Amino acid sequence: HVTVIPKWQKRSLSSMEDLDKAVDISQIENAARIVLSPPNAASKEERKEAELLFLQLRQRRNPYHLCRLMLEGSSVEYVQYEAVTIMREAVITEWNALPKVLPEELKEYLIQHLKDHYDSMASYVGREMIHLVAIIIKRLLLVDRKALSHALLMIQKLIKDGFQALGSAMMTAVVKEFGCTTGRSEKGLSLEFLVDCKKTIEASEMISAFTLALELLEEFILYSPNQLAQNSKLFKLLVEFAVQILTWDFTHRLSAMKGFQHYELYVTPLRPPATWKFVLLDSKVIAIMFKLTVLVRGDAPLLHSCLQCLSQLASLIGPVLSSPEAKQKYLHSFGHELAAYLELPNLTNTELCGIAAVTRRLLDTFPLSHIIQIEVNLLSKLLRLLSQLTVSACKKSTQDSDEEVQAEIQETLDSVLGVWIRLVSDPSFLASPWIPSLVTEIVEAYIKSKLGVPEGWRTHCNEQEVHLSIADGSDLDVYSDQLLAVASMVHCDPQPALFFLVTMFNPKVLHLAQYCSMVQSGASCREVAISELYEDIHWLVLFSGHVLASVCEGESPLIPQPLMKLSISTKSQNYSSEDILKFIKFEVPGFLDDATSYYHLMSTLDPVVTLVVRVLQVSHLFAMMSAAGLAELCSPQVAEILAWFHIHWTRTYLNMKEDDYEQVSITLCGAFGAQSPGADALTLYLLERASSDLCNWASEEKVFINTCKFLSQLLKSNSRSTTIQQSQPFWQLLHYYINCTGFVSSMSSECQRHFIEMLVLGAGASDANAFCDTLVQGVVGQLASLLKTDSNPQEAGVQRMLVFHLESLCGLAKYIKPSQATSLFVQLSPLLESLVSLFKVYVGHGNVIILLLELFNLVAKCILPHVSKEHTSAIFELCLAVLRNYSNYNVNKYKEGVLAEEEQCDDLIVCFELLENLTTKDFFDFSSPPDAVYRLTGEVVFCGLGVILNVMTDHLLEYPVVNSKFYNLLSFLCESYVDIVVQLEQTYFITLCNLLESGITRQNTDIAMQCLDCLGTLSRYSLREEEQKRKPHVIRALQHFLRVH
């Protein structure tokens, strides 16, 4: 190859020409082939030599002539790529040493090379070369303020001269480079210059570039499919450039001052400066992007990019829309194009998902007050189309399809339901005459999408999903947002939705009652049909629970106001709790014999009450089947969701408080109020159902736990807890537990924790009662008897019973009422003293050790703040004995196993919490009267910290949780008890300082700050006290950190 060397090459590289000519291009090509070859095609030595050659080339100074030779003299793509990479690194690192004319001439050379070879060179080589041109243009701005303008004029000329693909790619690269403020290519540039570059291109040049791109994209709208295929490369580049501009994070005064570290939204909104007004407010921009989206419907990547552009246009905010008129005009243009797109036939799942996200973005950006002001016909048309989109998504969700398609459909539903939630949240919007009918249509469509034929649209029931859903918790968890959205829509106009739910429920309850009657008589039924029935009932109970009660935590549960108003306005016959109980038990005649008359009788009930009765009737039928010994024919999935319904319904409706409402329904008060005749009977009926479920569903953990939570919810009301505590079924549960008989003997630890919580809540119904005494004495007595037996403590049966009773004690300590804390500790005290010695007996048994530590930790946390000074001293002594025994017998003595280290870490975390809880007596003392226990606490800190320091090692600090907990504890103790910490023995204090040093030098910033605060506290105290002279080891240890010798 013979090429004329440019003058800048001769001038700047004359000293390097001979050396560059000596380089053999064929040798470089051979090295490239070796680097890219498979592992077995070249030896390690050959590969090492080839890599070393390229490394040496990258380390050369002034490599531009050599890179020119590599670009022009080699046809190997990797060699060309390396040439551009070497040139780029040299430009970045040697910029300040380059001659003034060299960058400009290098830019011209690269552009000419691209013009000559862009269509034939590898895409990644061309991309790197264009990036290098963009880097040079950005750095030329340091010496020439017009460099950017000249570059964009040059790009426009390229496009006009026929190099449209090259010009578009270069335009994209320049804009991207000027918008970047961090990265390898910014080496040697100040933050002020980078900010200035970004602001410079935003001011005017980016507008002209975007306008040019729109003009080119507009031409594609008229192309035939063949023309579009021939120019696909250019089209993709232009769409990519449009996405880059519309997703641009424009610089504002505050963000520039903070170096672009402003608050980042999930998706950056489009917020250009006012200079963009004449471009973006032109309705042609929105029209072009929608037409391009239609044009690329068959190309998934391009469709995604176009939808992303539309989403950004939907998020337009800032000074561009400074006036209400501008917002209204923009919304009208967007709404018109959106309606036209929604009218397209056969929208794909991807299109539905994308356009739903665009619509939601529009609603999240613009206030509803502006949305409502859209022209009436256009707004009604949009809402009708959105309703059709929602119904279509509901129908598509019932079809058999792969996971990816279903994920798209569910995302579509999430977005479009979010749109409707936003719309119906405005009362003025609900006043529109067409809204209630559309909302009702959507609610019915969503419910039908979950129900089987003939009532619904679901044509299949995956039995595997039905059986596994209880393990996954998928329906309640995955669909929670959708269910809440649908419930909120129901509350906009509850009457038709409740009527529809009851209508769907009626045949299901009848079918289940017939099935119950058949199986009791020994007849057989089709398994598939029953699975379909259970799936339908499962979804109907889910809908009912979300509609009837607000599924929320941390707030006082109230009946939703729309349901209360509906009940007040409905003319229905008032029934007492006793009458409602008859409906639930099917004691009203005619249900199976004359369903029509029975439904007519049910219609006299309030619609809210009717829906509640339907759900409780399902629960009663399950109880009947269980009582007949047919529990295995019931669905665990339905049983779990029924228990969930009972929890939320009980919190809101049962024994409802009239004073919590401005207006209250007499019907609801009569049916579920505390003063209603038969209220106690309804409570006891629910208790019997729950007790029966505990016995029948002990093997289904989630059903059992939900049932325990339901009973706990029943017991949280004082009026209900007194009634329940005196009932025979509740005492029967207590006897099962104390004697460890029946279902109690086989339940898991997780189930036991919820069961004991429920029993302790029942024991707290009054301060002095037989139930509480029986529970505590039974648990204490059983464990005391176990400890006195001559059985081998290492036997599996003995260990299992020990773990069971320790779980019981943990539950007692955790959930006991504060007023009963002292009496509980008095009864537990002798037993706790005996338990301290078990650390020596069960060395290496992690399951027992962790429970022992947890028990004493709960005593310190829940009982210590409520006991007197005398009992405080006893608790301190017990807990310190526990820490010593744990340190002596169990540290680093676990059996070998995969989880051994994790068990050790769990133990240490509980030890940290124990010591911290012991010290909180000084801050949270609820004993009457409060005692001054600082001296006792100081002794605890002194002894406990010594035990902890004796345990800690660098290896344990490698675990993040242990690390964080330990340094939090250390920081707390140094801050609160510095006078005690400095009295540690010399060995322990040096260990403490070593751990602080490790925290400063080896840990993250937060821990390092905590350690420095600890050192500051220790230093200030030591220098302030005269006793420092009598403790020289403290000063020596602290001086180490100052390197004072």
Mean pLDDT score of the chain: 83
> What percentage of the chain has pLDDT greater than the value 90?
31
pLDDT of residue 660: 82
pLDDT of 360 reads 92
Q: Cβ contacts of residue 798 below 8 Å, gap of 6+?
A: 786, 789, 791, 792
- pLDDT for position 756: 94
Tell me the residue type at 224. Answer: S
pLDDT confidence tier of residue 999, bands split at 50, 70 and 90: confident
Poorest-confidence range of 188-197, 480-489, 770-779, 1008-1017? 188-197
CA 1000 to chain CA mean position, Å: 32
pLDDT of residue 261: 35
Structure tokens of 685? 């009926």
Query: What are the tens digits of pLDDT across the range 873-931?
Result: 888 889 888 888 888 876 655 555 556 677 778 888 898 899 888 887 766 555 555 55
Quick one: pLDDT at residue 12? 41
Q: Is the pLDDT of residue 604 over 60?
A: yes
* Banded pLDDT at 84 (limits 50, 70, 90): very high
| Range from 22-31, 35-44, 681-690 that averages highest in pLDDT | 681-690
Dihedral of alpha carbons 273, 277, 279, 281, sign: positive
Residue 163, pLDDT above cutoff 70 = yes
- Contact between 372 and 428 (Cβ < 8 Å): yes
**What is the per-residue pLDDT for 679?**
81
Q: How far apart are CA 103 and CA 605, in angstroms?
A: 87
**pLDDT greater than 50 at residue 469:** no
Please determine, for residue 9, whether its predicted confidence score (pLDDT) is greater than 50: no
Collapsed DSSP state (helix, strand, coil) of residue 955? coil
Which of 376, 375, 341 is closest to 358 using CA atoms?
A: 341
**C-beta contacts of 973-978 below 8 A and 24+ residues apart:** 973/915, 973/919, 973/941, 973/945, 974/1013, 974/1014, 974/1017, 974/1018, 975/1013, 975/1014, 975/1017, 976/919, 976/922, 977/919, 977/937, 977/938, 977/941, 978/1017, 978/1018, 978/1021
Can you say whether residue 626 is alpha, beta or left, with left for phi > 0 and alpha for psi between -120 and 50 degrees?
alpha
As a whole number, mean pLDDT of residues 687-713 equals 91
pLDDT over threshold 80, residue 1035:
no
Neighbour count for residue 278 (Cβ, 10 Å): 11
pTM, rounded to two decimals: 0.81
Phi, psi of 67 (to 5 degrees): -65, -35
Whole-number pLDDT of residue 719: 77
Lowest mean pLDDT, pick from 109-113, 516-520, 606-610, 839-843:
516-520
Helices 869-889/900-919 angle, 10° precision: 160
* Residue 627, amino acid: A
- pLDDT (mean) for 790-812: 88
The owner of tokens 């210059």 is: 193
Distance from the first to the final alpha carbon of the chain: 71
Question: Could you give the CA distance from residue 359 to residue 232 in angstroms, rounded to a whole number?
Answer: 29
Q: What is the pLDDT at residue 994?
A: 86
Amino acid of residue 204: S
> 142 phi and psi, to 5 degrees?
-65, -30
Task: Please indicate whether residue 559 or residue 890 has the higher confidence score (pLDDT).
Answer: 559
pLDDT, tens only, 258-279: 333 333 344 678 999 888 888 9
Percentage of the chain exceeding pLDDT 70: 87
Mean local confidence (pLDDT), 336-354: 92
**Is 90 exceeded by the pLDDT of residue 956?**
no
Confidence at residue 767, expressed as pLDDT on a 0 to 100 scale: 57
pLDDT in tens, 109-131: 999 999 999 988 999 999 999 99
Which residues lie closer than 8 Å to 945 by C-beta, 6 or more apart?
Answer: 915, 973, 980, 981, 984, 988, 992
**What is the residue-wise DSSP string for 736-791?**
HHHHT-GGGGG--HHHHHHHHHHHHHHHTTSSS-HHHHHHHHHHHHHHHHHHHS-S
Q: Is residue 426 scored above 70 in pLDDT?
A: yes
Rounded to an integer, the average pLDDT of 187-209 is 84
pLDDT band at 555; cut points 50, 70, 90: low
Query: Which of 381-390, 511-520, 580-589, 966-975 is most confident?
Result: 381-390
pLDDT band at 1020 (very low <50, low <70, confident <90, very high): confident
d(CA 778, CA 760): 13
Instruction: Average the pLDDT over 29-54 and give the result.
Output: 88
pLDDT tens digits, residue range 606-660?
Answer: 889 999 999 999 999 998 888 888 888 889 999 999 999 999 999 889 888 888 8
